[in-house]
Amino acid sequence: HTILGILQAGHGLLWTVWISCFALFSGLAANNSNIYSALNSSYSLLGKRQSCLMRTVVIGGIGTLIACFNPLGHLESVLGLLGVAVGSMGAVILSGYILKKSTPLTSLVSWGVGIAVGLVASLFHCSLTGAAPLDAFLSATAAQSVLQMFTKRNPNEITHAS
C-alpha cells in the first residue's frame, strides 16, 4: 500500500479531499502574495493616507470582484489590450530617446493616440498592419514625432530623454 493507493481507495473520497485542500491552500498562498504585492505597490499611488487594513480590504475586494468576471477565460483579449498599452508606451520611450527631446505633455498625448488607435484596431478589427499592438506602436511613434516638431521645449523642464 502506497500513499497514493490509500488516498484513492474508497471511491476516491480521500483523494478528492486531499486535492481540494491542496487547491484551496495553494490558491490562498498565491492570493496572499498578490494582495501583499498590490498593497506595497499602492503606496506609490496613494501615499500613506489610508491604513494598511483598509488598503488590504479594498485591494482584496477589487481583486475578488475582478476574479468574478473570469479574466482567465478572456486572457487573449486582456493580453491584446495590454500589448496595445505597453506597445504604445514603448514607442513613446523609444522615439523620445531617439529624438533627444520629449516633454511630458507630448509623451502623454502620444501614448493616448497610440492606445486609441490600438483600441480601435482591436475592437473594430480595422487594423493597418494586422496586429493592434503594432498599430499602437507605429501611431504613437508618428504622434510623438509630429508633436515634437511643433512643440518648443522649455530648457528648465525635466525631460524623459535627458
**pLDDT score for 55:** 83
Give the chain's residues under pLDDT 70. Answer: 1, 3-12, 152-162
User: Mind listing the pLDDT tens digit for each residue in 136-148?
Assistant: 999 999 999 999 8
**pLDDT score for 4:** 64
DSSP string, 5-67: HHHHTTTTHHHHHHHHHHHHHHHHHHHHHHHHHHHHHHHHHHTT-S-HHHHHHHHHHHHHHHH
**pLDDT score for 126:** 85
**pLDDT score for 23:** 80
Q: Which residue, chain included where needed, has cell 500513499?
A: 3
**pLDDT score for 156:** 55
Per-residue exposure over 82-118, b if at least 16 CB sit within 10 Å of its own CB, e if not: ebbbebbbbbbbebbeeeeebbeebbebbbebbbbbb
CA distances from 9 to 12, 56, 107, 117, 133 (A): 5, 42, 64, 58, 52
DSSP string, 131-152: -HHHHHHHHHHHHHHHHHHH-P
**pLDDT score for 138:** 96
**pLDDT score for 162:** 47
User: Mind listing the pLDDT tens digit for each residue in 72-95?
Assistant: 788 888 888 889 999 999 999 998
**pLDDT score for 137:** 96
**pLDDT score for 143:** 95
**pLDDT score for 79:** 87
3-state class (DSSP) for residue 69: coil
pTM for the model stands at: 0.57
**pLDDT score for 96:** 85
